[in-house]
Chain A
Amino acid sequence: DTAVSQTPKYLVTQMGNDKSIKCEQNLGHDTMYWYKQDSKKFLKIMFSYNNKELIINETVPNRFSPKSPDKAHLNLHINSLELGDSAVYFCASSKLHEQFFGPGTRLTVL
Chain B
Amino acid sequence: TQLLEQSPQFLSIQEGENLTVYCNSSSVFSSLQWYRQEPGEGPVLLVTVVTGGEVKKLKRLTFQFGDARKDSSLHITAAQTGDTGLYLCAALGAGSYQLTFGKGTKLSVIP
| Residue positions of A touching B, CB distance < 8 A | 4, 31, 33, 40-45, 48, 50, 55, 90, 92, 94, 97-104
Q: Are B100 and A99 in contact (CB under 8 A)?
A: no
- B33, B88, B97: the one contacting A48 at CB < 8 Å is B97
Closest-CB distance, B38 to chain A (whole angstroms): 11
On chain A, the residues within 8 Å of B103 by CB distance are: 40-42
Q: How far is the CB of B27 from chain A (nearest CB, A)?
A: 16
B106 touches A97 (CB 8 A): no
Most buried by A among B42, B44, B92, B97: B42
| Bound Cα distance A33, B97 (Å) | 10
Residue ranges of B at the interface with A (Cβ–Cβ < 8 Å): 31, 33, 37, 40-45, 48, 86, 88, 92, 97-101, 103-104, 106
Tell me the smallest distance from the CB of B41 to a CB of chain A, in Å: 6
| A30 CB → nearest B CB, Å | 10
* Most central of B33, B99, B106 by chain A CB within 10 Å: B99
In Å, the complex CA distance between A94 and B96 comes to 13
Q: Which residue on B lies nearest to A92, using beta carbons?
A: B42
Determine the chain A residues whose CB is within 8 A of the CB of B106 once the complex forms. 41
The residue on B at minimum CB distance from A58 is B1
A42 x B104 contact (CB < 8 A)? yes
- CB atoms of A90 and B42 under 8 A apart: yes
- List the 3 closest A-B pairs by CB distance, nearest first: A101-B42, A43-B101, A42-B103
Q: List 18 A-B contacts (CB under 8 A).
A: A31-B97, A33-B98, A41-B37, A41-B104, A42-B101, A42-B104, A43-B43, A43-B101, A48-B98, A55-B98, A90-B43, A98-B45, A98-B48, A99-B43, A99-B45, A101-B42, A104-B41, A104-B42
Q: Smallest Cβ distance from B111 to chain A, in angstroms?
A: 23
Check A50/B43 contact, CB under 8 A, given A41-B104, A97-B92: no
Instruction: Identify the interface centre among A50, A90, A94, A99: most chain B CB within 10 Å of its CB.
Output: A99
Most buried by B among A43, A90, A103: A43
